[in-house]
Amino acid sequence: AQSVAQPEDQVNVAEGNPLTVKCTYSVSGNPYLFWYVQYPNRGLQFLLKYITGDNLVKGSYGFEAEFNKSQTSFHLKKPSALVSDSALYFCAVRLDNYGQNFVFGPGTRLSVLP
């Protein structure tokens, strides 16, 4: 079955330190991977996506993600965290099928401490 895992419910990091939010996936065929961020009482905002090409994808607000096919991972990273990065982060995969074609991970809450 197609699935997306985010092994950490919560990630805490100090402001100015690098951050990583982990995502692994299990899909058949080529994965099309996405990261979204959700601030309190807001909709999900698109951060970045991997479709093909360079394994390092750069996105909004200084975020980047690294696609690793052998480890089936797509970890979200940022070199220097800001308090304003505190939010809920979702990893998702888009499938090449006719039915439900987006699968979301359970989300990881990031807290950046001042």
Partner 1 sequence: DSGVTQTPKHLITATGQRVTLRCSPRSGDLSVYWYQQSLDQGLQFLIQYYNGEERAKGNILERFSAQQFPDLHSELNLSSLELGDSALYFCASSVDWDHGELFFGEGSRLTVL
Rg (CA), the chain: 14
Binding piece for partner 1, criterion CB under 8 A, among 10-18, 65-73, 76-84, 104-112: 104-112
What is the smallest separation between the CB atom of 16 and partner 1, expressed in angstroms? 26
Identity at 6, one-letter amino acid code: Q
Binding mask 28-57 for partner 1 (x = CB under 8 A): ----x-x-x---xxxxxxx--x-x------
- Residue 12 in contact with partner 1, rule: CB under 8 A: no
Cβ–Cβ under 8 Å, residues 24 and 91 = no
What is the phi/psi pair of residue 85, to 5°? -80, -10
Contacts of 58 by beta carbon, 8 Å cutoff, 6+ apart? 48, 64
The burial of 63, by beta-carbon neighbours within 10 Å (0-12 exposed, 13-18 middle, 19 or more buried), is given as buried
What is the smallest separation between the CB atom of 13 and partner 1, expressed in angstroms? 19
Binding piece for partner 1, criterion CB under 8 A, among 13-21, 65-73, 77-85, 86-94: 86-94
Q: Summarize as ranges the residues that interact with partner 1 (CB under 8 A).
A: 32, 34, 36, 40-46, 49, 51, 88, 90, 92, 94, 98-102, 104-107, 109
